[in-house]
Amino acid sequence: MKKIFALLFVLLMVLSFAACGDDTPDKPDNTKQPSANSDAAIETTLFTVNFGGDWINIEDDFENEEEYSKAVLQILDPEDNEYYLVEATISVEIDEPYDFREDLVYYGFNQYEYKENNAYETVKVGGVDLLKYDDGDDTLVYFNRVENANASVYVEFDATDITDSRIQTLLDGITFNLEDVGNVDGPWEWEGERFSADDASIAAGALTVTSSFVPFEAPVITYETFDHSVAAIGDRVYVLVDGELSECHYDGTVLAFVKKIELPEDDYERIESTADGTLWVSGGLNDILCIKDGNIVATYEDIDNLAIHPSGAWGVNFFTSNECAIVTFSGNTYTSTPVTFKEADTIMQLCVDENNIYVCANAADDSGHKVFIYNKDGVLQKNLCDAEGEGLGSVTFVTQTANGYIAFDGNMRDVLLWDNNGNFIAEISDGELFSTNYPWFCDSAVLDDGSIITIMTDEREDRSATEVVAFIVKGF
């Protein structure tokens, strides 16, 4: 027994000296630092990188699988090792080409020029020809698609100085190990088959809801799933896609492009129309724009997102909080009156029609996502939920109809119907009504004849592109 106590005492003393004998600050948890100026190598299934000098391997970020390899290296700030001067991420993935094609657009390359005309110079890195993107500030990216290997290759630098010579030293130490498997990528957007759908007719209680696909004259391609909007004034349909506002002529069969309407910023997210023919543009923390005949005729500051009443006399200024404001317009000015939709919590969408304010939000009592219907004074009239009285997904548009209410649930991909008392009638899936695969219901607008034009994003069957597509919905 004494021997045991003696051993325990010695062990405690050793641990005590180990804890107290070195006051050197620890390195950040995510760094593993080799000896200074030593040569080292990282070997993965898909690449090897030899490095040394000031580069250190961030082992916690290392991944190495048969079809995906990633390594992260840093040069630490000598004055504060919790920060880095340069971070490099090397990654290779055996995958389909679609993320790479999106990155082409993101980094400012034209897909057609890249593929058909070989228009861009490349840099040889590790035996692979890579495109180079340089934002002139702190980001440097080398990337490309190695089609025959079914691989996408990236070397990305985040640096305080992208001209740092140590970046080139690291690039010189990379070797990619890619096998030619004879892969041929799927079609590009101009090679693929456009989305199309047949008319549909679905019984919903005593109602029969119909849909008709309305093609754009030229396909509208996007890499953004959610933030697109639509409005209508007479035979003109306006679409806001990726921050660009376009006017289209709708003749009952096709949406023909008329002109692009220039906006002062490219991150607007929402458009609506009013009875006087004004187009209201909001979102993106920008000034509200009023547009008539393609020209900006008024602007309003300090409104986040605007859900406008059809009269154009007033609307609701909202963001995500249930504390909103009724804004009343008078010429080039407006007054703001606070309103709290206390039954709602986080607001996802807000719509206004002739008689109601619809707050599409998570319920404050945690009963799920619902549509809360208020009057202009913020007094709750009723709420809309599913057949079991439970929450919905994420409603992107709702309005009152002759027979009750209709809503488009982007998350659940259902068209929902209720009677005038708010009793649930039916849900119709996107596949039944629109022949879509996995869409997102972006936005909708009521046309002069009472039908609804709705736009959504959906990936083509051949995966060559994601399109913004439009349908006319009737029968509700």
73-110 confidence digits (pLDDT tens): 999 999 999 999 999 999 999 999 999 999 999 999 99
pLDDT score of 38: 56
- pLDDT surpassing 90 at residue 454: yes
Number of H helices, E strands in the chain: 5, 36
- Rounded to 5 degrees, φ, ψ at 430 are -60, -35
| Residue 241 Cα distances to 94, 213, 256, 323, 425, angstroms | 31, 18, 15, 29, 33
| Residue 64 Cα distances to 162, 183, 455, angstroms | 27, 22, 41
Q: What is the CA 229 to chain-centroid distance, rounded?
A: 14
- pLDDT surpassing 80 at residue 12: no
* Cα–Cα distance measured from residue 98 to residue 96, given in angstroms and rounded to the nearest whole number: 6
111-163 confidence digits (pLDDT tens): 999 999 999 999 999 999 999 999 999 999 999 999 999 999 999 999 999 99
| Residue 172 Cα distances to 32, 124, 125, 131, 138, angstroms | 22, 10, 7, 16, 20
Parallel, antiparallel, or unpaired for β 207-214 and 63-64?
A: unpaired
How do the domains of the chain map onto residue ranges? 26-176, 200-474
Percent of the chain residues topping a pLDDT of 90: 91
Residues near 7 by Cβ (< 8 Å), separated by ≥ 6? none
* Cα–Cα distance measured from residue 147 to residue 129, given in angstroms and rounded to the nearest whole number: 12
Q: Taking residues 197-207, what's their average pLDDT?
A: 97
pLDDT score of 39: 86
Class of domain 200-474: mainly beta
pLDDT score of 179: 97
Residue of higher predicted confidence among 9 and 231: 231
pLDDT score of 18: 36
Lowest mean pLDDT among 28-32, 189-193, 364-368: 28-32
Q: Taking residues 162-178, what's their average pLDDT?
A: 98
pLDDT score of 71: 98
Please state which architecture CATH assigns to domain 26-176. 3-Layer(aba) Sandwich (3.40)
pLDDT score of 389: 87
pLDDT band at 435 (very low <50, low <70, confident <90, very high): very high
- pLDDT surpassing 90 at residue 226: yes
